[in-house]
């Protein structure tokens, strides 16, 4: 049976082991956070989720404080809001937050919080020196001037994809997110899954191919299944004017639960390649020439027939493609088994 505690003066239930953040969410109270990444170890890094707990001298981080029976928690007091606003002001001052030219504009939790607290101008002297932008790889742009050091990218890499390619490096004002030995992404153990980009709550990590293509409010999200392999990862296509601007993983959906690999996340632009084949090609004397579908299929059928006539049915084999529908794969094996008379069939996703 669930235990109870006091949440903003009302009785609320919680399950043993839940944090204040989780229990409040289950009771319809959203506590803002910048560093919390669902399913990973809480770090309490951003201090946005601070709440008042009766009897505690200081405000407590809701993401890392477990609830206990009878605890009296307040999430909406002046003291809480003053503290959160101060954190937002400090974060805004510690970076270069020129939203108008930022790819995250309209999809940024820091911007949302600044708007919520009515912050119109910097309260503190802004930092003026930053680590240089890193955009030498084809997929991810790192802009350290927008990094709020929330650590979500590190949690995503270490605990979600378990690749351990990035961590927090240096100390104090020098702190930065580093890939092994403070190298560039493309010189590190990074496999370019892009999970850190999906986890970044601001514009510090962005998709390189999406730069300048669309503002978030100009796109509509279309849910689909990744076409690359047989796993069937669930993904969103962010589409503007019929063109995909980027893809993200669907959170909380099986089988990938918010993850994608490099192909699913960054490999969509083959759609727009001028090198895509639009007609069948037949090789003659070492060169390809365009052909109609009828001509190409007749040629394939004749070659199969000739090979089987001369060497028997087991001289041919079929490999189905993971991008094919189940129905197409079924038809393929039926063709080979029932028509050609061989069990030599396979599927590329099996290996």
List contacts with ligand SF4 (CB under 6 A): 97-99, 102, 104-105, 108, 110-111, 146-153, 156-157, 161, 163, 165-166, 177, 190-196, 199-200, 202-205
Helix, strand, coil percent values for the chain (each to nearest 5): 35, 20, 45
Question: In the complex, what is the shortest distance from the CB of residue 105 to ligand SF4, in angstroms, rounded to a whole number?
Answer: 5
- Pick 18 or 206: Cβ nearer ligand SF4: 206
CB of 238 to ligand SF4, least distance (A): 17
Shortest Å, Cβ 185 to ligand SF4: 6
Using an 8 Å Cβ cutoff, are 51 and 72 in contact?
Answer: no
Report d(CA 44, CA 35) in Å as an integer. Answer: 7
| Tally of helices (H runs) and strands (E runs) in the chain | 8, 16
Q: Are 51 and 20 in contact (CB under 8 A)?
A: yes
> Closest CB to ligand SF4 among 266 and 336?
266
Q: How far is the CB of 88 from ligand SF4 (least distance, A)?
A: 9
Min separation Cβ 328 and ligand SF4, Å:
32
Q: Round to whole Å and give the CA distance between 231 and 229.
A: 6
Residue number, 45 or 73, with CB nearest to ligand SF4: 45
Q: Which is nearer to ligand SF4, 24 or 151 (CB)?
A: 151
Closer CB to ligand SF4, residue 161 or residue 296?
161
The residue (of 43 and 234) whose beta carbon lies closer to ligand SF4 is 43
What is the closest distance, in whole angstroms, from the C-beta atom of residue 186 to ligand SF4 in the complex?
A: 10
Q: Report the b/e string of 106-124 with b at 16+ CB within 10 A.
A: ebbbbbebbeebeeeeeee
Which residue, among 123, 314, 326, 319, has the nearest Cα to 230 in the 3D structure? 326
List the one residue out of 53, 15, 58, 11 whose CA is nearest residue 31: 53
CB of 172 to ligand SF4, least distance (A): 16
Own/partner pairs for 82-89, CB < 8 Å, 24+ apart? 83/47, 83/50, 83/59, 84/32, 84/48, 84/50, 84/113, 84/117, 85/117, 85/119, 87/46, 87/47, 87/48, 87/50, 88/48, 88/113, 88/114, 88/117, 88/119, 89/119, 89/122, 89/123, 89/124
Give me the sign of the Cα torsion angle 192, 193, 199, 203: positive
Please state the closest distance from residue 177 (CB atom) to ligand SF4, in A. Answer: 5
Nearest to 210 by CA among 176, 250, 238, 242: 238
Q: Which is nearer to ligand SF4, 194 or 258 (CB)?
A: 194
> Which is closer to ligand SF4, CB of 50 or CB of 249?
249
């Amino acid at each position: 049976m669930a235990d109870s505690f006091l949440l903003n003066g009302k009785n609320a239930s919680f399950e043993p082991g839940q944090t204040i953040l989780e229990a409040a969410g289950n009771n319809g109270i959203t506590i803002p956070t910048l560093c919390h990444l669902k399913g990973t170890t809480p770090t309490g890094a951003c201090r946005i989720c601070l709440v008042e707990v009766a009897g505690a001298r200081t405000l407590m981080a809701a993401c890392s404080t477990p609830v206990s029976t009878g605890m009296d928690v307040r999430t909406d007091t002046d003291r809480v809001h003053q503290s959160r606003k101060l954190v937002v002001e400090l974060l805004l001052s510690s970076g270069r937050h020129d939203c108008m030219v930022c790819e995250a504009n309209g999809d940024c939790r820091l911007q949302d919080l600044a708007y919520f607290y009515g912050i119109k101008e910097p309260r503190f002297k802004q930092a003026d020196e930053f680590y240089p932008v890193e955009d030498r790889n084809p997929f991810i742009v790192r802009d350290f001037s927008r990094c709020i050091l929330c650590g979500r990218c590190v949690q995503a890499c270490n605990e979600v994809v378990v690749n351990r390619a990035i961590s927090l490096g240096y100390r104090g004002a020098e702190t930065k997110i580093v890939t092994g030995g403070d190298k560039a992404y493309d010189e590190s153990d990074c496999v370019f899954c892009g999970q850190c980009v999906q986890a970044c709550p601001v514009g510090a990590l962005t998709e390189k191919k999406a730069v300048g293509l669309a503002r978030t409010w100009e796109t509509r999200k279309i849910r689909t299944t990744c076409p690359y392999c047989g796993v069937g990862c669930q993904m969103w296509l962010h589409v503007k004017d019929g063109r995909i601007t980027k893809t993200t993983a669907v959170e909380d959906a099986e089988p990938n639960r918010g993850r994608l690999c490099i192909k699913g996340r960054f490999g969509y632009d083959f759609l727009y390649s001028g090198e895509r084949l639009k007609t069948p090609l037949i090789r003659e004397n070492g060169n390809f020439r365009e052909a109609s579908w009828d001509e190409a299929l007749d040629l394939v059928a004749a070659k199969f027939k000739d090979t089987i006539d001369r060497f028997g049915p087991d001289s041919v084999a079929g490999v189905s493609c993971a991008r094919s529908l189940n129905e197409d794969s079924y038809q393929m094996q039926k063709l080979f088994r029932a028509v050609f008379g061989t069990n030599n069939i396979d599927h590329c996703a099996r290996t």
